[in-house]
């Protein structure tokens, strides 16, 4: 199956599953609220959009592992990340400072360009 088709199926699963899971979470909290009084008050204060958001996160986490397996991504090299070979230089105590200063300089440059 093509990666585009798999991505489309993953998005359908996440958004469809998250939308279907939100009322279930709401009903489950209402059911628990019958036995635990403070939970009913807490559930009334939670907006439904937050439950939809949690449902999306749950379904995305559930579907991520099969999605990556189907795309045959088994490690970080599969998504284009490589080992940082400068890590060996960090043992001298100076290399990580260089990386930190470069990162701070890049941040400063980006933020100053935005303002």
Q: How confident is the model at residue 89 (pLDDT cuts 50, 70, 90)?
A: low
Q: How far is CA 55 from CA 10, 17, 22, 59, in A?
A: 14, 7, 5, 6
Q: Which two tokens stand for residue 48?
A: 């439904």
Residue 94 has pLDDT above 80, yes or no: no
The per-residue pLDDT for range 13-22, each reduced to its tens digit, is 999 999 999 8
Residue 79 has pLDDT above 80, yes or no: no
Please tell me the predicted confidence (pLDDT) of residue 92: 55
Mean pLDDT of all residues in 63-70: 90
């Amino acid at each position: 199956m093509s990666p585009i088709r798999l991505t489309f199926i993953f998005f359908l699963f996440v958004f469809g599953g998250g939308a279907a899971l939100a009322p279930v979470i709401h009903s489950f909290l209402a059911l628990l609220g019958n036995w635990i009084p403070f939970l009913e008050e807490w559930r009334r204060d939670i907006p439904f959009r937050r439950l939809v958001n949690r449902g999306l996160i749950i379904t995305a986490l559930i579907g991520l592992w099969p999605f990556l397996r189907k795309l045959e991504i088994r490690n970080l090299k599969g998504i284009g990340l490589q080992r940082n070979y400068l890590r060996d230089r960090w043992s001298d105590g100076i290399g990580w400072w260089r990386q930190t200063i470069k990162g701070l300089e890049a941040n400063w440059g980006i933020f100053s360009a935005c303002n």
